[in-house]
Amino acid sequence: MSVLNITFLGSDELAKGIGKASDKRDVESYVYKENNESGVKILSLVRPVSFPDKIKGLTSSLTLGDFVVLEVKNIDANLGELLVACSSSGISDGIIVLDNMGGNWVDLSQLKTLVTQVGLERWVIKEFDALELRQYLLKILDSKEDILIERIKNPLVIAVDQYFNVKGVGLVVIGGVRSGVVSKHEQVKILPSGGTGVVRSLQVMDDDVEQAKAGDRVGIALRNADESSLSQGSLVVQINDLDSVEVHRKTLLTFKPAAFARYEPAENGIIHAAIDLQFVVGRIESVNSENIIVVWETPLMIRKNSSARILICQLDAKPRIIGYSNDYKLLE
């Protein structure tokens, strides 16, 4: 089974034409599943329904995606912020879908200029209907299959999206398997709390499974686990894992400003960092050129076997994603 996780920045109508809608919170999920002679292929779309009011849904969607679909109906400030966010995320591949229906008209020349200014000129710009887009995404999945399979070889890390108690089942955790494989009856550890539990059962795509692997959105029923050990953004790892995740309380990072950002880091400034469904508040302790030291209000966890960028946000700035870092060092 191969899964392509897609950050979908477009309308509910277009998303429903590609896959079936499922859960909805700050983000809404849509899934398309295809069986053929080469196996099972899944398109998993994550759409930030709370944007533009809230930035967290957007950052969560971006930290989960391997590919971006950006639907454009108008050229406005919201589009500008989405383009900046995509550029900062480090997701190298995406497609910009033009919607010139229903009285919309997009100036293609102006759009191409904006796309070039944020560094996304490699992205295809094209008009697609939902069925054409679905077939295009399935081809992208085929082209990325080797990269996605490689993540299975890395240590287990699951990013927790939500958790709740279910009568007759117990504590259930919903999240994305960022790397590795999780199996039934396996003992796991929850970071940063250090809580533990045992995998009682697993569900992927509403089907009971023996294992879930990198790329899967998984539901895990845990026994012998304490709900208080969990929070959104917690990471679940194998019980004896000591070094696949760094837990940061203070970080030295190289700040790379986003396109169009006017924010300059300053001592005592407040920022938010987004990575693997986390959205952590930090205070800037010191600034030395592009190098800044940040003290986190709650621990920031970073996978060691990952090249993921930390998205840096400032909620009062415009755009709110002010930059990123892909060069960071644990201090405490």
What is the full per-residue pLDDT of the chain (332 aa) written as tens digits? 789 999 999 999 999 999 998 876 778 999 999 987 778 899 999 999 999 999 999 999 999 999 999 999 999 999 999 999 999 999 989 999 998 666 678 899 999 999 999 999 999 999 989 999 999 999 999 998 888 888 999 999 999 999 999 888 889 999 999 999 999 999 999 999 999 999 999 999 888 999 999 999 999 999 999 999 999 899 999 999 988 999 999 999 999 999 999 888 999 999 999 999 999 999 999 999 999 999 999 999 999 888 889 999 999 999 999 999 999 999 99
Matching CATH number, 245-330, of 2.40.30.10, 3.40.930.10, 2.60.120.10, 3.30.530.20: 2.40.30.10
pLDDT at 103: 62
CATH architecture type of domain 155-238: Beta Barrel (2.40)
**155-238 matches 245-330 in fold:** yes
Q: Where are the domains of the chain?
A: 2-151, 155-238, 245-330
Instruction: Tell me which CATH code domain 2-151 carries.
Output: 3.40.50.300
Q: Residue 3: CB partners within 8 Å, gap ≥ 6?
A: 42, 44, 141, 148, 215, 216
Bridge partners of residue 213, in order along the sequence: 181
Task: Decide: 110 and 75 in contact? Cβ < 8 Å.
Answer: yes
Task: Decide: 97 and 14 in contact? Cβ < 8 Å.
Answer: yes
Helices and strands per DSSP (H, E), number in the chain: 5, 24
pLDDT at 101: 66
Q: How far apart are CA 148 and CA 289, in angstroms?
A: 36
Q: Which pair of structure tokens corresponds to residue 294?
A: 């940040």
pLDDT at 27: 86
Angle at 220 between CA 298 and CA 181, to 5 degrees: 85
